[in-house]
Amino acid sequence: MTNTASTSPASPTAPELVRPTPELLARAPEIARHHLQTLPVHRAMIRVVECLLVGAEELPAPTLDVGCGDGHFAASCLGRTLEAGIDPSPASAAEAARAGAYKQVYVGSAAQLPFPDASFASVVSNCVLEHIPPLDESLAEISRVLRPGGTLVITVPSERFAGSLFWPQALSAVGLHGPAAAYGRWFNGISYHYHTYSQQEWTRRLETAGFRVERWTSYLNPRAMAVFDLSHYYGAPTLLSKRLTGRWILWPNKRDYLPWERALERRLAGYAEQIAIPNGAYYFFAARKA
């Protein structure tokens, strides 16, 4: 796979900033279509960019997916069957096992990984670490099970996540800063976001756990996040669909008949250009065990 980073040498004090390449942007429409056919729109729009970023990284085998969920991300974006996935939810782990994205799926906590030291050459964790209260313990465990020189690739929310949502932006625009902050806290609460830090703070925590950040980027601006916030309402019926049928989307080819679905697909593909922006709501990090 082609790496999205430049070819200049990495420095412990000046990690490379990942930028979108023409090759990466060319893949965006296909990836947007697939995700809209299989996920609620609010998840799809985030996963499109993460699929491009994480999917462009080389993940040497054996690879562990920490917080693998139902296995959709690995199956859709990582290009091969990973050696292991782990998730604290038995139901999600069972879905991941059925998805065939992993050779082995485990139920367990990132803070207590059931693997010997230096078991893996790479670890990936996509939009997971923000949900784990014992963050530093989990990073230490990931470091423990990685081989020296092993690769860690993660995506996490930034300190701007809550303020980038539609309602905090709208309320702040009319001077209602208190309600705007309250909405952001509420959204982080229902999303189980325990950690939304700056790039410097995420880097510090990674370094404390024994990692050196080699590449990073910030993605999805406030305009995109306003759409993300509002799209939860558009995608609300998928919650019922998932509960009743086990599938998020019951009409995968609806874009062939509904013009607004095609417009939505184009918009999500366009979000791939929102990489390496200064005000992103998310961060991507590629680090190496020192």
CATH of the domain at 150: 3.40.50.150
Residue-level pLDDT at 24: 83
Q: What is the pLDDT of residue 3?
A: 42
Of the CA atoms within 13 Å of residue 143, those in its CB half-sphere come to 18
Identify the pLDDT of residue 10: 39
Residue 271, in any domain of the structure: yes
181 in a domain, yes or no?
Answer: no
Domain hosting 260: range is 16-159+194-289
Tell me whether residue 166 is in a domain.
no
- Per the domain annotation, does 5 fall within a domain? no
Of the CA atoms within 13 Å of residue 17, those in its CB half-sphere come to: 8
Q: Can you tell me the distance from the alpha carbon of 165 to that of 223, in angstroms, rounded to the nearest whole number? A: 8
- Structurally, how many domains does the chain consist of? 1
Output phi, psi for 134, to 5 deg.
-80, 70
What pLDDT is recorded for position 46?
Answer: 95
pLDDT at 152: 98
Instruction: Give the pLDDT of residue 60.
Output: 97
Is residue 10 in a domain? no
What does the pLDDT look like over 90-126, one tens digit per residue?
999 999 999 999 999 999 999 999 999 999 999 999 9
Predicted local distance difference test score (pLDDT) of residue 11: 40
Does a structural domain hold residue 153?
yes
pLDDT score for 13: 53
Query: In this predicted structure, what is the pLDDT of residue 14?
Result: 65
What is the reported pTM? 0.92
Question: Is 1 among the domain residues?
Answer: no
The ranges of the chain with pLDDT < 70 are 1-14
Q: Is residue 175 part of a domain?
A: no
The per-residue DSSP string of 100-147 comes to: T-EEEEEE--GGG--S-TT-EEEEEEES-GGG-S-HHHHHHHHHHHEE
pLDDT at 55: 94
